[in-house]
Structure 1
């Protein structure tokens, strides 16, 4: 394994304190929580922008590393995996210099806390121009190590189908702009319907995020969507695990 990289040697630290909120991704067919996404917050629950606005090129690496550690430590304290749920962590591809070197602290944290590697999902947002070869190297390396991989905000960024043709992640999260008002927009319904079919054919799990209304949720269920994330189910909970809304059917107990 590599022993160092540019970020390790030259990057500045990230001094601003921060914490995490967790938002569940729910299987709406059963009510079970598939995963909890770790979302950056200020130390007292302030919005993410209070922290993200302090990120610069010089401290991006340190921030990305600290986010991973904070997410795993909090998830461990909250016993996040007790019912089989996973932990979804956002990462910044431009903060990863050499995947096997930059993953060392994540692996050490998981080992120290006893958090299972196969319950960690690494997701990235394709909202900035990326070097395709670089991101493919990261995704392939993470998969080889046993992590799950996900593309966030799919359909809104730069990589899109070009990246998907070269690497099929475990999960694709459809951009919330495709979901907003889908119950009233036939074009969006057709687009999402065909995207779901394509992802199913590629054996990729689909998550629809940003679902805010019962009508949006009902439309997605009619389209066969199972995994949903959004305010209609639960808002992010600061340093705790949110319970999904009662409108989602809860798993049935086994009857002898």
Structure 2
């Protein structure tokens, strides 16, 4: 059995006592959204600079709130400064936004995606298949990558319908030149099923659970690429 190849890491928000993302995000308001978004980006990059230095070019995926970005080039300055301090190559940054956050202005989000791509960052739609705009959002924004929502993945090994849907998403993404990650993989059956659907990048508890201020993966699953 070959060791898993780590493709990237996702920076997740957690409370100081290990509280989940929901508990933290419930305290985000319109008044503190920008400051919260900026603080999370900077912290993620600082940790990556300390923990990932010397590894072979893994991606660092950072969730961002589109509604917190008023102008992409201005709002990225703190992230770039943090990367310079941490000696972290910004070409390895991936910014993802969730399809579950209602877009107040799709044209504005498209401008963010295009600006980030021009700056050399990878862009991604998180929770694809469970949000507001679905294929319409994909057509409008054309990100570099989509992450299939775990609700479509759960139990996929025993569901022909889910396999058909995931295979269809993979086919559409490939035709558009977009990569696909299947997130929320918890069992070997789910892993085998998504791989049979053509998914090469996977993420989930089968490899490692979220850990506070650390980066590692202990999965050994047939050389599959892992987004830890």
Residue 133 in structure 1 maps to residue 107 in structure 2: yes
Runs (5+) with no aligned partner, structure 1: 1-27, 252-256
Equivalent in 158, 174, 177 of residue 203 of structure 1: 177
CA distance in 1, matches of 2:133, 2:2: 31
Q: Following TM superposition, by how much is the alpha carbon of 1:39 offset from its aligned partner in structure 2, in angstroms?
A: 0.3
Equivalent in 131, 145, 165 of residue 157 of structure 1: 131
CA distance in 2, matches of 1:38, 1:200: 26
Instruction: Report the CA distance shift for 1:198/1:175 in structure 2 as closer, same or farther (over 3 A).
Output: same
Q: Deviations over 1:56-92 (max 9, x none)?
A: 1100000000000000001111125612211000000
CA distance in 2, matches of 1:154, 1:143: 19
Residue 86 in structure 1 maps to residue 59 in structure 2: yes
Q: Following TM superposition, by how much is the alpha carbon of 1:169 offset from its aligned partner in structure 2, in angstroms?
A: 1.1
Q: Following TM superposition, by how much is the alpha carbon of 1:53 offset from its aligned partner in structure 2, in angstroms?
A: 2.0
Q: Following TM superposition, by how much is the alpha carbon of 1:176 offset from its aligned partner in structure 2, in angstroms?
A: 0.8
Residue 123 in structure 1 maps to residue 92 in structure 2: no
- CA-based RMSD of the aligned residues comes to 1.9
Q: Residue in 1 aligned with 2:77?
A: 104
CA distance in 2, matches of 1:81, 1:142: 25
Residue 231 in structure 1 maps to residue 199 in structure 2: no
Q: Which of the two has higher C-alpha Rg?
A: 1
Q: Residue in 2 aligned with 1:254?
A: none
Q: Deviations over 1:88-122 (max 9, x none)?
A: 00000011111111111111111222111110000
Equivalent in 165, 176, 188 of residue 150 of structure 2: 176
CA distance in 2, matches of 1:234, 1:248: 16
Instruction: Report the CA distance shift for 1:245/1:141 in structure 2 as closer, same or farther (over 3 A).
Output: same
CA distance in 1, matches of 2:40, 2:222: 30
CA contact (8 A) 1:80 1:86 kept: no
Residue 194 of structure 1 aligns to a residue whose secondary structure is helix
Given the two structures, how large is their TM-score scaled by the length of structure 1? 0.83
Residue 36 in structure 1 maps to residue 9 in structure 2: yes
CA distance in 2, matches of 1:111, 1:211: 34
CA contact (8 A) 2:8 2:61 kept: yes
Q: Deviations over 1:179-203 (max 9, x none)?
A: 0111111111101011101111111
CA distance in 1, matches of 2:99, 2:206: 25
Of 220-229 and 119-128, the range deviating more from structure 2: 220-229
CA contact (8 A) 2:65 2:97 kept: yes
CA distance in 1, matches of 2:218, 2:162: 26
